[in-house]
Amino acid sequence: MTNARAAVLTGPSQIEMTDFPMPHAGADGAVLRIEAAGLCGSDVEQYLGEDPRVRYGIVPGHEPLGIIESIGAQAAQQWGVAVGDRICVEVVVPCRACDKCASAEFTECTDTLGSYGYRPFEAPTPLTGGFAEYMYVHPNSVVHPISREVPIEVAALYNPIAAGIRWACHLGGAGQGDVVVVFGAGQRGIAAALAAKDAGAETVIVTGLSRDAHKLKLAERLGADATINAETEDVVARVLEITGGRLADVVLDVTPVALDPIQDALEVVRIGGTIVIAGLKNGRPAPIVTDRLITKAITIRGARGVDALAIRAAIGVIESGRHPLELMHTHTFSLRELDTALAVLAGDVAGEDAVHVIVVPGEDGAGQR
């Protein structure tokens, strides 16, 4: 193959399919044959132009999964992988020189080179996003092998599963006997419920909207003990009822844009509890009563993506097969159907109840469910 096709984001809600010359691995990089790229809510916001970080003229897609097509000798030694291995690639391209990189905290790199599908970085090709047939893997990248025995649809869940583990457990500290409340019933909210139950949480509660009925039902199948419809029920009153007045040890907000969950989180967390905020509000200020932070001795933590520790843990969960994770995957689309895939994930296509959506190269996606 001499050319590789990719989706280029040229403007708000504008995708152009473009052919690029096949990239070369060089001595210290690699070329990934994309098997699938997962979609998340930030992809929708990027596509619509609602994300303040949006850049045009790039190949989006920050959850790539694929097979190493070619790799330089230096890269193979550094990453411990070879041609034919399946890997996923972390979003951030770290500098590998700052103090954070020295301690392997790559997502907190203070001088990142860029990120796949979002911020361009110096590369010999524009193929630096997952919505493509092939993708160049920069020498500074952080990669993780995943067994080729795992179905593509399940392997492609590595990022949302990692988010659930990191946000609920690594940052929130959810553990044995805890009460955990998750605001937001998307793939990461469901993954957080699953992770909290895996960590030994006694009661896990997930909230959503009326349109999320199918997601709330799935959350119950994968770990949630109770769900709340935030449009028709009083969230705070229901948490008090479900917990017998105990309230929550850990509260996680994964909702995009919405500000009400921030206020509710302050009310449903117990004295000395922890709130983890992972849902970007796109610059919207959230007025809070700071006295609540003091009188309840609340710890608030911001969740900056997922890190290597969480991704390795997620891959372990995926490869173990101990959970029916295939239930989370709802739609597969071909690369040429990217616009439709994004609309389905956003809930803008009647009759399509999406949770996890992937885009695959070629013509074999065809909106499979």
pLDDT for 18 equals 97
**121-158 tens-digit pLDDT:** 999 999 999 999 999 999 999 999 999 999 999 999 99
Q: 221 vs 206, 255, 323, CA distance in Å?
A: 12, 20, 10
- Cβ atoms of 60 and 16 closer than 8 Å: no
Which of 36-45, 278-287, 347-356 comes out lowest in average pLDDT? Answer: 278-287
pLDDT for 283 equals 83
Domains in the chain: boundaries = 3-157+328-360, 165-302
Please say if the pLDDT value at position 163 is more than 70. yes
pLDDT for 306 equals 94
pLDDT for 365 equals 52
CATH architecture, domain defined by 165-302? 3-Layer(aba) Sandwich (3.40)
What is the mean predicted confidence (pLDDT) over 289-316?
95
Residue 50: pLDDT band by 50, 70, 90 thresholds? confident
**31-49 tens-digit pLDDT:** 999 999 999 989 999 999 9
Please say if the pLDDT value at position 367 is more than 60. no
Helical residues (DSSP H) of the chain, grouped into ranges: 41-48, 73-79, 99-102, 152-155, 158-165, 187-198, 213-221, 235-243, 260-268, 290-295, 308-320, 338-345
The rounded distance, in Å, linking the Cα atoms of 368 and 316 is: 27
The rounded distance, in Å, linking the Cα atoms of 71 and 86 is: 13
**57-101 tens-digit pLDDT:** 999 999 999 999 999 999 999 999 999 999 999 999 999 999 999
State the chain's mean pLDDT as an integer.
95
**Is the CATH number of domain 3-157+328-360 1.10.1200.10?**
no
What is the mean predicted confidence (pLDDT) over 175-179?
98
Please say if the pLDDT value at position 366 is more than 60. no
Supply 68's token pair: 């190493």
